[in-house]
Structure 1
């Protein structure tokens, strides 16, 4: 049993811990804010846009398509209008009756001088339908540099030139041997929606503030890989050396490779293949990532509140299996939990009124988040609806995390999966039920799962 003195010491230690942690999270948020200002408020020039095609690396752009995503025509057109002299486009659909095909055909007719290919039909190499959709174009791509762009993403005309510049280094600097080579260039999402449903507004507020702020801060500190797959550019020759095991290759600097299945096909067993590819390049090859000065404009379609909640639940459950410790810490990085803990600590240490601290805390937090959003968008984004959506997002963060943390099953593209260790997944084809999906409670009827080698995706 603790004595009164020991209990007092424990409370004091916890109080200081809460205040120190709050200070750390505030500094991390400020770092994200400063990074956003420096990187996005002054857009860089296009370093290779006007170079001869023979003098720049070729790039193969891969776009996986399924149905009529929001803003699809403009999203796809943004790849046809890249100010870069040497690239090809692969537009990939799994089904010959896919509704995206008329849009694709219209764009190919509009831009006959662009080297564009339509790929119809997938190849089942795993349970991830995105990988299955891309694998044929990945194999047929003419260039070593591959740029994978989701169908709901629109990019500025200079994005490819800036990204190649980040990947290879400025043309006037022949070597960067003093630093680890860049293996992957990615772009922070900037959400926008023309369909202002509640879930869409909350998703927009989340991606443009808290998500962007932490994403930029973590990538600035660069202690580990942190990448989302809206827009990623990397070398196929690097990807063909790794397998997603995250085990360092002993002779990676001499061209060593993992044994067994490698390349894009090896990542078909993951749901978050984007994050795993980035992590594999980081850990297995010992290389690093970089952000260009561009954003990936993420078109958010009509989304209900339930859609938003289950989307967040899905990715928390995936992250839980991939980065368990970081996922456990997530609630303590949020404004509500961090603020309550710090206000309680200061109340104990300095007798600071909770209401006073929390007022300052939330005013500072929302100011930083709005500044990040303004940096990404290039304009002021503060409005009544946006602020309201931000408040709802902050309030929902902890309940969503609590719901996500107790289960391992997710719904994605109309199918149910169980997330296993290291982010691998297997299809749930029968049994289970909502109790198992929500809370992981197994019923007497054992769920049947589809093995990774099954090919009906």
Structure 2
């Protein structure tokens, strides 16, 4: 009986400590986000030269927002940069769109590279490798097709590229978009994602996502360049790890990345979250335990049971107060990340927030029990450590 009692109290203490740790992360994200994000961009004086930046844009297909997203890269105020567009298929309709922008902005140094290499299983790396080998500048910005830029975003990123820094990245966020899916995306990236992202950056843990990342090319080339990471699907994580292992710093800039893909629906968004969860589990197996316990509903249940065992507090009352306080903190954090009025009302926030919090654990379990990763028309299997292998889809008779 005594060993069972010790075990019971041990689990209760674990859940209570983990719950306290999650609240600490929440508070760190709020205060650090307030300090770190949306700082005013200071112009360099006329005598200070700007370092050149090569922007690599891997593209595949056209969506309704692609033209306007790409146009924001042609209208930036940064004085010295080039844009290298990459398409693996020479019949891709995005080619005509890119050429029309190049004709509209002839003063912008832009080039088009067709045909993918074959340096690994990662199609994004294969698509970008030819352009990477042709860049003109030391600093390389890898930017996904769905990203929008403000006029001073590149300047904001370069401001954080100090002498001991090799990677500056934008924290993922979204543009304002209509509909439930747009609200759901903004809430996820402005709460669950930004909470972990800001806390990880604060304590200098690798939290890098590669949708908008500025890299010091000479340091990456010491490991063989971009092609070295073609064996991974989560190339962004392993590039950041390689730079960090060499002693270089990585930082987020003050402007979040504005994702603005033309495809915005709940199914596509949840499929994306599931794919990311599969990658995290393969790279960091401890995530199997830690990530579910970071969810509001899950850790709240564990903590409510724990305080009942330890302090005889009411389970239901504690759980409801926990959810309410988590909800309020998420609203505050999202407002900080948004840096302005939200494009939806409080009722929409409540509905989408509850949907996200309740569906999060289910999506994670789905990722655990269905480990194959579907990315566009390809299917991959991951080994422990994150190395990917493309597999052929089964033929049904």
Same fold (TM over 0.5): yes
Q: Which runs of 5+ in 1 are unaligned?
A: 170-180, 243-261, 434-457
Aligned counterparts, 1:316-395, within 5 A: 316-381=277-342, 382-395=345-358
Note if contact 1:195-1:302 (Cα within 8 Å) is conserved in structure 2.
Answer: no
Equivalent-residue separation in structure 2 for 1:15 and 1:322 (angstroms): 29
Deviations 1:304-341 (A, max 9, x none): 44333322221111111111113431001110111000
Tell me how far 1:114 sits from its aligned partner.
0.9
Tell me how far 1:290 sits from its aligned partner.
0.5
Equivalent-residue separation in structure 1 for 2:142 and 2:351 (angstroms): 34
Aligned to 2:234: 272
Equivalent-residue separation in structure 2 for 1:126 and 1:147 (angstroms): 21
Note if contact 1:192-1:300 (Cα within 8 Å) is conserved in structure 2.
Answer: no
1:206 counterpart = 2:193 = no
1:192 counterpart = 2:189 = no
SS at match of 2:160: helix
1:233 counterpart = 2:210 = no
Q: Which runs of 5+ in 2 are unaligned?
A: none
Please say which of residues 119-128 and 306-315 is displaced more in the overlay: 306-315
Aligned to 2:201: 219
SS at match of 1:146: strand
1:294 counterpart = 2:255 = yes
Aligned counterparts, 1:308-323, within 5 A: 308-323=269-284
Equivalent-residue separation in structure 1 for 2:211 and 2:221 (angstroms): 21
Aligned to 2:106: 112
Deviations 1:125-169 (A, max 9, x none): 111111111111111111111001100001211111121121136
Equivalent-residue separation in structure 2 for 1:152 and 1:121 (angstroms): 21
Note if contact 2:55-2:83 (Cα within 8 Å) is conserved in structure 1.
Answer: yes
Deviations 1:205-235 (A, max 9, x none): 211211011111111111x311011100011
1:158 counterpart = 2:152 = yes
Note if contact 2:147-2:261 (Cα within 8 Å) is conserved in structure 1.
Answer: no
Aligned to 2:80: 86
Q: Are residues 298 and 70 of structure 1, via their aligned partners in 2, closer, same or farther at CA, if it must alter by over 3 Å?
A: farther
TM-score by length of 2: 0.94
Tell me how far 1:192 sits from its aligned partner.
3.2
Tell me how far 1:430 sits from its aligned partner.
4.2
Tell me how far 1:187 sits from its aligned partner.
0.4
Note if contact 1:418-1:428 (Cα within 8 Å) is conserved in structure 2.
Answer: yes
Tell me how far 1:7 sits from its aligned partner.
2.2
TM-score by length of 1: 0.82
SS at match of 2:85: strand
Equivalent-residue separation in structure 1 for 2:184 and 2:167 (angstroms): 29
Tell me how far 1:60 sits from its aligned partner.
0.4
Tell me how far 1:96 sits from its aligned partner.
2.1
Q: Are residues 356 and 70 of structure 1, via their aligned partners in 2, closer, same or farther at CA, if it must alter by over 3 Å?
A: farther
Alignment match of 2:16 (pick from 15, 19, 22): 19
Deviations 1:49-86 (A, max 9, x none): x646x822111011111111352122112211222111
Where in structure 1 do 4 or more consecutive aligned residues deviate above 4 Å? none
Note if contact 1:336-1:394 (Cα within 8 Å) is conserved in structure 2.
Answer: yes
Equivalent-residue separation in structure 2 for 1:141 and 1:51 (angstroms): 26
